[in-house]
Every structure is written in structure tokens, then in C-alpha cells.
Amino acid sequence: MAKGASGQASALHVQELRHCYKAEGHGKTVPVLKGVDLELFPGELGCLLGPSGCGKTTLLRSIAGFEQPDAGTIHVGGRAVFVGDQTGGHGRPELTLEPELRRVGMVFQDYALFPHLNIQDNITFGLRSLSPSQRQQKVKELAEALRLSPDLWQRFPHELSGGQQQRVALARALAPGPQLLLLDEPFSNLDPRLRAEMRGELKDMLKAWAVTALFVTHDQEEAFELSDKLGLMQDGKILQWGLPEELYRQPKALEVAQFFGEGFVLDAQVEASNGPTQSYQLCTEFGYVPHRPSEESRDLKVFVRPENWRWSETEFVGGVKVEILDRRFRGAFERLYFLSPQSQRLMYLDSPKGSAQKRIYLGLSEEWINIF
């Protein structure tokens, strides 16, 4: 098992996880997970982001033990909880622990509270091995941390607000002391104001208790705010897993760059520059940038975000003159619209200071572009 900076074993390690469903009607198998890898160390908060149907929830359910993958391995707290068929086929797994033996807690999207149990009994449902006094103490600790006042303990789920139901679901998942907490879009049923409030509270609490957690969400803002590690998932694969700022500033694929915010894709050609030493540069319709190519004369793509243009009201070396067609005030910045010089595409840049000039000069900064 891999070890973190402190020498600890990973809290969650998923390797080459694969899973297929049998399609109804014609018996064909449909791949849902296609060799998924990810790792979290103790106390880290991870987040999976991606469109509907990309496999996020299936991955969570596989880790929890509610789905049985076809291949790969899952380790929780350094212990194997699933080892798939090692023959390369889709035979029986070599090891699969039942969900209750994995020490994994899960908060479902609809909370899945037991409607016939009151709040206290919902929280203590997984604590049958404890004495009544111990269960009562656990409820008290969790209720205080999650701001569930004692007058709520004897109520039933339908008598609570959405935010209160979420707190109860979280308390129930945390009560047995799991090594890993899984949360499937935990804020999707809350209104925007309560959603922002709850995710801040939840992050503070999980960090204070050193809980390792893996979230699933569709919300980029939520993912950036909550996660220590972030993964973009598409079509059953994790395209990139790492620090949130890495996925935004140093995406490894064009699909990752385009998923996180707005931007423009420019065609670029690798050219050898003239000089005493051999060097290369990328040629675009907005000028040149230095480049270290893996292959000479290869056509590439350059991705630039609206806030990352190099621009000036005065001419500079390598700058391309464009005419400002429109200005729109956006609060923290002004958006300037222009046509690209060759393709005549409508583009824009975002600047905190804006510009009153009719024409400006644009270029690319090597530091602020991504090349694919």
C-alpha cells in the first residue's frame, strides 16, 4: 500500500476497478467503471465530479459493498475489502467483504432514513453491540456536534426539515466510527442558502474529527470548496485525480480544461525558431509562445481562459491588435468582446480594470496557457 507524507497507509486505495451491467433485453454487457484508480490518505476529503451517468455513484456503491465489481481491488484503512477475479475474466472475486464489515459509512442522496424509527433510533441503528447508556452517549455527542437539539430526538424523519434530515443521516453514518465516509450528492436536496451553510459546517466538522471522506457532486463550486483531492470522472474513467488547483491550472487533458470553467481552444503548430541553437515555439493566431515538443511539426491545441490573456492598451512585441466590439460589466470584472484575427470567432477576456480603448493588443503568456 502507498504511504503519505506522514508514513501512514492510505485510507482508501482503489486500483483498476472495472464493473459492467447487463443491459436489459439483449443480454449485452455495458461497461460502467473502466479501470478506475484513486487514493485518499487519512483525514483527506476527496470529491468526484462529473456528468450524470459517468459512474460516480456506482463507484461509491462498489466501495461501500452494495455493488460487486468485476475486477480490480479496493483497500480501506490498509485492509483489502474487495479483490476481483485475477484471471482476466469475469469470474468470482477472490475476496469481497460484506458492507457491514468494511467500516465504511454512507450518506445517500435521499438520506434513506428509516421512516418508522425516531431520530434517536435512526442514529443508533448500527450500534446494537453497545449498551443503552453507551448508545445514549453517542447520540448526545453526535447531536451536539450536528446541532440536533434534544427536543428533536423523539421525532420522526417526516417531521424534520431537509437540513435536519441530512444531519440525522450524517450522524447515523458517523455513529459506528467508520474509517471512511462516503457521501452521494449530500446537498442536492437543499436550497442554495442552506447548501452553502451546510457544506461549510460539514467540512469543518470532518476536519476537526479527522474523518476521511469521499463525496460525489455535480457542483464545481462545491467540489472546489470541499475537497483536498478532486477527480473528474467521464464515461467510467477518472480523467485526472489530484489537487483541485492542479485540475484547474494544470489539466492533463483538454476535456479536463474545458470542464472547469470557460475558455477558448486555439489551433497551434510547432515551428523551429531561427537562432544559433535549435529551439521550438508554438504558432497561433495570437502570436508565438516557447515550447518543448515531444514530436517536431506536431499540430497541437492551446487552451486559454478569459482571465488569462496577456493584453495591453499599448503595443508590445508579439501582440496582435484587436478591436473591442462590446463591453459588459460583470461586477468583479469587465468582459471585453473581440473577434479573433484569423478565424473571426467571437471571443472575450475578463479584466478587473477593463479598458475604455477601442483597440487593444493581445497575446499569450506561456505561464497561463495549457497545451494539448
Question: Are residues 208 and 284 located together in one domain of the fold?
Answer: no
Q: Is residue 171 part of a domain?
A: no
State the Cα–Cα distance between residues 319 and 303, nearest whole angstrom.
17
> Average per-residue pLDDT in the chain?
90
Question: 345: domain range?
Answer: 262-371
Q: State which of 232, 255, 278 marks the end of a domain.
A: 255
**Which long-range contacts (C-beta less than 8 Å, at least 24 apart) are formed by 238-244?**
238/36, 238/37, 238/38, 238/48, 241/37, 241/38, 241/39
Give 279-311 as a DSSP string.
EEEEEETTEEEEE--SSTT-EEEEEE-GGG-EE
Q: Estimate the crossing angle of helix 192-208 against helix 162-174, to 10 degrees.
A: 20
Question: Are residues 76 and 222 located together in one domain of the fold?
Answer: yes
pLDDT above 70 covers a percentage of the chain that reads 93
State the Cα–Cα distance between residues 108 and 182, nearest whole angstrom.
8
Q: State which of 210, 236, 255 marks the end of a domain.
A: 255
Centre a 10 Å sphere on the Cβ of residue 216 and count the other Cβ atoms it contains. 22
Question: Are residues 284 and 318 located together in one domain of the fold?
Answer: yes
Question: Are residues 240 and 280 located together in one domain of the fold?
Answer: no
Q: Is the pLDDT of residue 119 over 80?
A: yes
pLDDT-derived band of residue 296, with 50, 70 and 90 as boundaries? low
Q: Which residues pair with 13 in a beta bridge?
A: 39, 75
Question: Are residues 239 and 294 located together in one domain of the fold?
Answer: no
Q: Is residue 143 part of a domain?
A: no
Residue 264 Cα to chain centre, angstroms? 22
Q: pLDDT, tens digit, for every residue of 159-191?
A: 998 888 988 999 999 999 999 999 999 888 788
Number of folded domains that form the chain: 2
Question: Are residues 219 and 277 located together in one domain of the fold?
Answer: no
Q: What backbone phi and psi angles, to 5 degrees, belong to 6? A: -85, 0
Q: Is residue 340 part of a domain?
A: yes
Q: CB-hemisphere CA count at 13 Å for 331?
A: 0
Nearest to 77 by CA among 14, 9, 175: 9
Q: Is residue 305 part of a domain?
A: yes
pLDDT in the model for residue 233: 97
Domain at 344, CATH number: 2.40.50.140
Nearest to 197 by CA among 139, 146, 244: 146
Q: Is residue 351 part of a domain?
A: yes
Q: Is the pLDDT of residue 2 over 70?
A: no
Instruction: Give the DSSP H or E segment for 216.
Output: strand 213-217
Strands 104-107 and 180-184: parallel
State the Cα–Cα distance between residues 68 and 82, nearest whole angstrom.
8
Question: Are residues 50 and 184 located together in one domain of the fold?
Answer: yes
With b for 16 or more beta-carbon neighbours within 10 A and e for fewer, the 41-50 pattern comes to: bbbbbbbbbb
Question: Are residues 251 and 275 located together in one domain of the fold?
Answer: no
Average pLDDT over residues 323-340: 95
Strands 229-234 and 237-242: antiparallel
Q: pLDDT, tens digit, for every residue of 26-75?
A: 678 899 999 999 999 999 999 999 999 999 999 999 999 999 999 999 99
Q: pLDDT, tens digit, for every residue of 341-360?
A: 999 999 999 999 888 899 99
Question: Are residues 268 and 240 located together in one domain of the fold?
Answer: no
Q: pLDDT, tens digit, for every residue of 66-100?
A: 999 999 999 999 999 999 987 765 678 899 999 99
Question: Are residues 222 and 274 located together in one domain of the fold?
Answer: no
CB-based contact 232:239 (threshold 8 Å): yes
**Which long-range contacts (C-beta less than 8 Å, at least 24 apart) are formed by 65-69?**
65/96, 65/97, 65/98, 65/99, 65/102, 65/104, 66/99, 67/19, 68/93, 68/96, 69/17, 69/18, 69/19, 69/33, 69/93
Nearest to 69 by CA among 17, 14, 13: 17
Tally DSSP H helices, then E strands, for the chain: 8, 22
State the Cα–Cα distance between residues 95 and 84, nearest whole angstrom.
7
Nearest to 330 by CA among 255, 262, 265, 266: 262
